[in-house]
Copies of this chain bind each other. A is one copy, B any other.
Amino acid sequence: MTDPVNRQILLVEKPSGKLGPEHFKLNTSTIPEPKHGEALLRVRYISLDAANRAWMHGATYRAAVEPNSVMAGGGIAEVVASKAPNLAPGDIVFGDTGWQEYAAVPAKLLTKMPRIEPMTHLLSVYGIAGLTAYFGLLEIGKPKAGETVVVSAAAGSVGSIVGQIAKIRDCHVVGIAGGKDKCHWLTSELGFDAAVDYKDGAVFKQLKAVAPKGIDVYFDNVGGDILEACLPQMNNYGRIACCGAISQYDGAPAAHGPRGVPGLIVVKRLIMQGFIVMDFMKQRDKALADLQGWVASGKLKVQEDVIDGLENTPAALIGLLAGENRGKRMIKV
């Protein structure tokens, strides 16, 4: 029997342009010893998020990721040893485990999670993705019944839940996604009223056709040209929930912003508001109860995109940035 090792994916270099496999390296090290206050974790699922790429540009709501260290990332893990009073072997936790099989993490940075089946739901509908959709739509977008809600990256982990919650709230819901298959899935499976394929010509015109009363809430996951196409179609007093800007992450930062900012914001009295899901954690229990109720009643469908093997994590992130995934993408470690 060989010594157990800890396989890890290192970020070897910060990309100046597009992210590629050459920016990562598989590494093996020894399994760490937990220090006082830490737990040793066996990582079970690693979350893949567009934000992973944004962290490479510099400090955001967290420190920048640095070259030649284990790539940062959220994960669901099982405690295998603990030097922290509130955690015991067998506990399931969420935290920034990084892209590796084992991690020693201070207990205060970990969130204890319930043991549910499938465990993957802790990263999708009951994880950051589901809570981001819930709070971003309801607290920032504030949709009223009958209003038109548009969401971009609509087939993604957050967008697919945003659209479904907007339907639960009796809105007219339009998803923007890439490709016919995704668009068909949004309307036939998830109950969206319409879908716009951004790979199929002018988003502005397509939107105009399926959102003829204008847009009251735009849940923006992508920024860039699609935000620009939505801005002129916003109704007065519309709300733009700024969740992410995936179109801007993978390449040189600091592209010029969309036209109409701030002119249209003035004239239409729009609110553009950024948010980070962590700011709403006090309301987490209420949100999870709602999400669980909707999942149980079949109103909210959970789509997951689980890829096997730590060694596939870089390719899985690169593919996510290119729009490969449908629903929440994660790695089974």
Contact = CB atoms under 8 A, between A and B. Distances in A.
Interface of A: 54, 60-61, 220, 223, 227, 240, 242-245, 248, 253-276, 279
Closest 3 CB pairs of A and B: A257-B257, A257-B261, A256-B256
A268 B61 CA distance: 8
B258 A256 contact: yes
Contact of A269 (B248, B253, B255, B274): B274
- Main secondary structure on chain A at its contact with chain B? loop
Specify which of A255, A259, A264, A273 lies most central, judged by the most chain B CB atoms within 10 Å of its CB: A273
A267 to B, nearest CB: 5
Contacts of A276: 266-267, 269
6 contacts: A223-B261, A240-B262, A242-B262, A254-B260, A257-B258, A261-B261
Contacts of A244: 266
Contacts of A261: 223, 257-258, 261, 272
A259 B267 contact: no
A275 B269 contact: yes
Specify which of A54, A227, A265, A270 lies most central, judged by the most chain B CB atoms within 10 Å of its CB: A265
A266 B272 CA distance: 9
Contact of A265 (B54, B242, B255): B242
Contacts of A259: 254-257
A239 to B, nearest CB: 10
A81 to B, nearest CB: 36
Given A242-B266, A265-B274, A269-B273, 4 more contacts: A223-B261, A242-B265, A244-B266, A262-B272
A271 B271 contact: yes
A137 to B, nearest CB: 15
A266 B247 CA distance: 14
Contacts of A273: 265, 269-273
A263 B279 contact: no
A267 B61 contact: yes
Nearest to A58: B267
A155 B264 CA distance: 24
Specify which of A248, A262, A276 lies most central, judged by the most chain B CB atoms within 10 Å of its CB: A262
Nearest to A278: B269
